[in-house]
Amino acid sequence: MEFSAQQIAEFLGGEIEGDASVKVSYFSKIEEGKPGTLSFLSNPKYTQYIYESQASIILVNKTFKAEKEVGATLIRVDDSYASLAVLLSLVDQMKPKKTGISSQAAISDSAIIGENAYIAPFVYIGEQVKIGKNVRIYAGCSIDDGSQIGDNVCLYAGVKIYNDCLVGNNCILHSGVVIGSDGFGFAPTEDGSYKKIPQMGNVVLEDDVEIGANTTVDRATLGSTIIHKGVKLDNLVQIAHNVEVGDNTVIAAQTGISGSTKLGKHCTVGGQAGFAGHIQMADGTIIGAQAGVGGSIKEPNQRIQGSPAISMTKFYKSAVVIRDLPEIQKLIHSMQKRIEELENKLK
């Protein structure tokens, strides 16, 4: 399917600079641009490529100033990255969607399936499960008894949803996601062994949540583990029992959040961060990659880094000191030697 620069500009509300009739049928990275494709420039580090890119159309910010001639047709928009996301979503929505229920799926007679569902072979749907409209469930998924799935949900191959869990509308769960597995609850006994504590709660995913491949969200011991509206979890994230993640928070890969911790709204968590249990993060907290968060952050919009995590300002100052420690150590040894010499002279 082809689109002209004129059509794209009208759709995005952008300004054309160049040939408005040029057409594209696919996307490309700016450093690998090919004729007939659309690319974009958002990060200034890639500016050099715009002058040699073979892409036919390039989205740029309105503030972009070309230092020399650009061969491609430019479409100037307020935010080129956001505009690219809009176009990619449009193209994705135009792709044909699978429908129909495979005869090789195992579906309980008591399950309720909404209109226009696609259920692939080797899917298991348990008793009293409710599936909304326009849901796509790919091969090897399992939805256990009493769970509910909202409208326009996509479960990619191999997703496992344990019993009594709730998934809201417009959620996307990628392959290998496990929702509702037991929380890590064990009570120590007198003989040194551990007795399992039954996990009787569930998991609630609100609307517009997306969860990356092989991420796990444990069910609550009592009550619910809650992932609020608009949350985005990367691949390989571990969410423990009774955790609560606030609206529109994003969490990068390999992060682990211990039990009963609560993250506020609009938080950002870098990769490989770790959280102790029973702490709280205020709204807008930014946690750097590999941070070890052992205590609550009560003031909103704070930036923390390091292990144990401290404010990013202090972390960067500390990093400079750590870098210079060998020289500081030499200086201290030199000063100690001079002090000893002076003491000997005074004696």
DSSP string over 283-318: TT-EE-TT-EE-S-B-STT-EEETTTTEEHHHHHHH
Both 198 and 83 in one domain: the answer is no
Q: What is the pLDDT of residues 66-95, one digit of tens each?
A: 999 999 999 999 999 999 999 999 988 888
Which residues are registered as beta bridge partners of 107?
125
Q: What is the pLDDT of residues 108-144, one digit of tens each?
A: 999 999 999 999 999 999 999 999 999 999 999 999 9
Both 323 and 307 in one domain: the answer is no
Both 83 and 174 in one domain: the answer is no
Helix, coil or strand: residue 7: helix
Mean pLDDT of 287-316: 95
Report the amino acid identity of residue 117: A
Q: What is the pLDDT of residues 29-65, one digit of tens each?
A: 999 999 999 999 999 999 999 999 999 999 999 999 9
Report the amino acid identity of residue 102: S
What pLDDT, on the 0 to 100 scale, is given for residue 4? 96
List, in order, residues 6 or more apart from 110 with CB less than 8 Å away.
127, 128, 129
Query: In b/e form, how buried is each residue of 307-318, taking b as 16+ CB within 10 angstroms?
Result: eebeebeebeee
List, in order, residues 6 or more apart from 68 with CB less than 8 Å away.
51
Both 169 and 196 in one domain: the answer is yes
The structural domain count of the chain equals: 3
Inter-residue contact 143 to 125 (CB < 8 Å): yes
pTM attached to this predicted model: 0.87
* Last residue of one domain, picked from the residues 94, 121, 137: 94
Q: For residue 242, what are the domain limits?
A: 101-314
Nearest-angstrom CA–CA distance, 122 and 142: 9
Both 157 and 43 in one domain: the answer is no
Q: What is the pLDDT of residues 321-344, one digit of tens each?
A: 888 889 889 999 999 999 998 988
Catalytic residue, chosen from 174, 241, 266, 333, is 241
Active site residue 241: yes
List, in order, residues 6 or more apart from 204 with CB less than 8 Å away.
165, 166, 168, 224, 225, 226, 227
Q: For residue 199, what is the domain's CATH number?
A: 2.160.10.10
Both 306 and 328 in one domain: the answer is no
**Backbone angles phi and psi of 263, in degrees to 5:** -100, 135
